[in-house]
Amino acid sequence: MSFEPKIVGILCNWCSYAGADLAGTSRKKYAPNMRVVRVMCSGRVDPTFVLKAFQKGADGVLVCG
Amino acid sequence: MAKPKLALYWAAACGGCDVAVLDTNEKILDIASLVDIVFWPIAVDFKYHHVKAMADKSIDLCLFNGAIRSTEQEEIATLLRAKSKVLVAFGACACHGGIPALANFTSRAEILQRVYIEAPSNSNEQKTLPQLQTKVAEGELELPELFDDVKTLAQVVPVEYYVPGCPPPVDLILKLVDLYATGKLPPAGATVASDKSLCDECDRIKEEKKVTKFYRPHEIIPDPKKCLLEQGIICCGPATRGGCGMRCIKANMPCRGCFGPPPGVVDQGAKMLSAIASIYQGNDTAGINRMLEEVVDPAGTFYRFGMADSMLKRKRLQKS
Ligand code: SF4
Ligand code: SF4
Ligand code: SF4
């Protein structure tokens, strides 16, 4: 079985989340490995969120914004 | 009326917490006249079998210092829990793992290898390692087993109160005794210290936190009036509970975090990392990389006292 990483994406509401949304409405395909968490600003992201994601079994964390 | 019974114990500890109790100087005599000390390995000659013979819940107050990293410490923690009405995690090691919990960045096998075989001061040609059982002419000797993980007291048994600090300052020890003696102990689970961060009680001049270079304490003589972090010295005040009376800050040294995280902070190291990241001025990769180099041993610095209690807990063990 090939490795399918679980990636937690923490995305800013105003840019990267909007971008991901636009990708969806434009019916662009992207790999389903990323689980998105929307935050109102990437400045809200605390290192604890990243640790928590890894603790819960994420293989990678992507912070966008 | 019978005097309340007091027990003190040290597990994975340095002895400093016991000395801190003795540091209460003449007050120790007041304490000794108020209570009966029924167990205190550093100072009084009672043995484990004396404690085992006591009725459950017959010790009124037990001050337990040190982390838990061996079968013996776990056994005595369990024993003292059963025998005590009020169990207090006393000092940074019992509260958060403390300095011994830095061992969670390595493993038991690596520690034994280093201490008994590689350390330059050793002469151990047979490569002898401690054995749990050893046969000698008189019979079989037993040693407690060391765990891979260093744990906090509360990770092993339920704990009523926490008195942080490496070691706890005398005024907090006396405050605990006073709260106990006057029947004013807070609800179980409370920490006897401040509910704010150290920065909150720090009286240094705080201006804008903008740092372009980090210094280690020996590389700079800091201005004794200004915030140390603003001068580029890593001071863990933003991620540390107040209540120590700014012991290190008054000596012009940065806080190392011995009071553990303030209330509401889950992970002291992550909080400190966040504080450092938000004050660093620089947006080019080269500058950021240089800054990362300047923070020597970030894991050991940010998790100096809190590793056992952190979200990291320990380095992942190699599966054998
Ligand atoms: S908290 Fe500090 S003084 Fe107390 S036992 Fe641990 S290392 Fe020693
Ligand atoms: S960072 Fe240190 S020196 Fe600065 S205010 Fe906080 S405790 Fe005081
Ligand atoms: S300044 Fe920090 S390290 Fe020093 S005693 Fe206070 S809490 Fe502990």
Give the predicted TM-score (pTM) of the model: 0.91
Q: Which residue shows structure tokens 């000596």?
A: B251
- B293 C-alpha to ligand 2 centroid (Å): 22
ipTM reported for the complex, 2 dp: 0.77
Cβ of B315 below 6 Å from ligand 3? no
Peptide bond into B130 cis (omega under 30): no
Is there a contact between B267 and A47 if contact means CB atoms under 8 Å apart? yes
The segment(s) of chain B belonging to CATH 3.40.50.700 are 5-99+150-181
Whether the pLDDT of residue B30 is over 90: the answer is no
* CB contacts, 8 Å: A55 with chain B: 311
In a domain, A28, yes or no: yes
pLDDT at B164: 98
Q: Are the beta carbons of B9 and B64 closer than 8 angstroms? A: yes
Q: Is B239 on the interface with A (CB under 8 A)?
A: no
CATH of B5-99+150-181, one of 3.40.1350.10, 1.10.1040.10, 3.40.50.700, 3.40.30.10: 3.40.50.700
Asked if B8 is an interface residue toward chain A (Cβ–Cβ < 8 A), one would say no
What total of structural domains would you count in chain A?
1
Ligand of minimum distance to the alpha carbon of B197? 2
Instruction: State whether A51 and B274 contact (CB < 8 Å).
Output: no
Containing domain of residue A40, as a range? 7-64
| Residue A2: inside a domain | no
In the three-class reduction of DSSP (H, G, I as helix; E, B as strand; rest coil), residue A19 is classed as helix
User: Lowest-pLDDT range, A4-13, B29-38, B166-175, B269-278?
Assistant: B29-38
CB contact under 8 A, B270 and A55: no
Check if B77 has its Cβ closer than 6 Å to any atom of ligand 3: no
> Which amino acid, B174?
L
Q: Is the pLDDT of residue B320 over 70?
A: no
DSSP A20: H
Q: Find the B268 Cα to ligand 2 centroid distance in Å.
A: 15
Cα-to-centroid distance, B199 and ligand 2 (Å): 5
Work out the minimum CA distance from B292 to partner chain A, whole angstroms: 16
The pLDDT tens digits of the residues spanning B162-214 come to 999 999 999 999 999 889 988 999 999 999 999 999 999 999 999 988 888 99
Q: Please indicate whether, in this complex, the C-beta atoms of B273 and A47 are within 8 angstroms of each other.
A: yes
pLDDT in tens, B112-140: 999 999 999 989 999 999 999 999 999 99
